[in-house]
Structure 1
């Protein structure tokens, strides 16, 4: 089996706040914006997409309209510390400050306005330890 597209969508109550969070923090571009769905695209020509859907929209089953838990979304960036500084300036709720992890990534954790746990990371080398 092959895929032509894989798209992550998160559920949110405040679409505008989530849209602005991802645009400001990670540089996403708004590809589509409505009162029930926002489609974001990466600023590079990689065709990476990220969606935000109104939590109470009819397309979201009632049993799944709860706050997110038991999952997180990872964004691999070129400079995690730079993004961390943006998150601090935005007064985003930081869950974990940047640190080098055993598996070769430097990461920090932040909550988006919908309460979704976001992992922002960059590879690091032994020399940076």
Structure 2
């Protein structure tokens, strides 16, 4: 078994400056590495995310295409989804799914960053009885 110690996603995007500005200004991430073709950000709680420009000759072919914007969701958990939603609206962020509660135990909304990445802003709560058995305790 491979033992992991942390995780981060890297999105291959067209605009590093837009990514840097969006995540630092709106979500409180800090830049820990900023190169010509790659940036790496980290939040105060330790969430990491990287952004890389497409078509980098130093990268293998499988890491060269820009993210098309669909087929992935970057979820960020918050303490208070209602408060986060009000902030998102006040900052005129691109809200693509309004605030709603789900029976499986989430209150959430979705925004889209300038490079097309969907961010699901999630607050967890107790699921309805129908979904309780789906959770694994441990």
What's the TM-score once normalised by structure 2's chain length?
0.78
Larger Rg: 2
Residue 116 of structure 1 deviates from its aligned partner by 1.0
Contact kept in structure 1, 2:94 and 2:111, CA below 8 Å: yes
State the SS of the aligned residue for 2:88.
Answer: helix
Alignment correspondent of 2:61: 61
Alignment correspondent of 1:116: 117
Structure 1 stretches of 5 or more lacking a match? none
Separation in structure 1 between the aligned mates of residue 26 and residue 49 of structure 2, nearest angstrom? 14
Alignment correspondent of 2:33: 32
Contact kept in structure 1, 2:53 and 2:66, CA below 8 Å: no
Separation in structure 2 between the aligned mates of residue 114 and residue 97 of structure 1, nearest angstrom? 20
When the two structures are aligned, how many residues end up with a matched partner?
124
After superposition, where does 1:82-101 map in structure 2 within 5 Å?
Answer: 82-101=83-102
Alignment correspondent of 2:48: 49
